[in-house]
Amino acid sequence: MPTDTTINWDERYATPGFLYGTNPNQYLREQSRRLAPGSSVLVAADGEGRNGVWLAQQGHVVTSVDQSAVAQKKAIDLARERGVSVEFVRADLSTWSPGSARYDAVVAIFAHLPGAVRPQIHAALARALRPGGLLILEAFHVKQLGRPSGGPKDPGMLYEPAVLQRDFAGLTALELLEGIVLLDEGAKHQGEGYVVRFVGRRD
């Protein structure tokens, strides 16, 4: 769930069902092999909880953060339905502090941020990692603009590799890719999408 005060996320998530489905993001699923068993994981802008709940199902200790009470209610219900425990925090990433060196991993999946707050939020997410901790991120590229498969309409909220390299300069990039993927994530992410993918490690 992007952090954008111009959008009423409670209203958007009030739609029946799960906007982005209940299955985890495919890139997160692939990269989760990098996580040690029982890792402490912060899932930023987790929306309706599909990624945080799935990580908890894999045995990780998950903190799921989102600013929408409506989305988080769905996430809590999903966790209960799947029989897992997740720490849910309702907060705006632009004002909430995740702390320093608290997590083995931070996950940011389609967490699109306004340019005015993006660098500071990304810096805070990087600081939240313990030494050796991993950041796993997937987001829409600037080349996604105009495609019907999802993402912000504001080009300032779309990313490219250079932006991530700058924002996460303190992390060692283990993977930084861009390209077209086939999305099948609920009603809102369907079809070919142009994305950027990043895995960084705090040394």
Separation between Cα atoms, residue 145 and residue 157, nearest integer Å: 10
Which pLDDT score is estimated for 179? 98
pLDDT digits (tens, 9 = 90+) for 133-174: 999 999 999 999 999 999 999 999 999 999 999 999 999 999
Which pLDDT score is estimated for 5? 47
Query: What is the largest distance, in Å, between two alpha-carbon atoms of the chain?
Result: 43
Does residue 118 belong to any structural domain of this protein? yes
43 by DSSP, 3-state: which?
A: strand
**Residue entry with tokens 């209940």:** 22
- Stretches where the chain sits below pLDDT 50 are 1-6
CATH of the domain at 157: 3.40.50.150
Domain of 29, in residue numbers: 9-201
The pTM of the whole model exceeds 0.85: yes
Number of domains making up the chain: 1
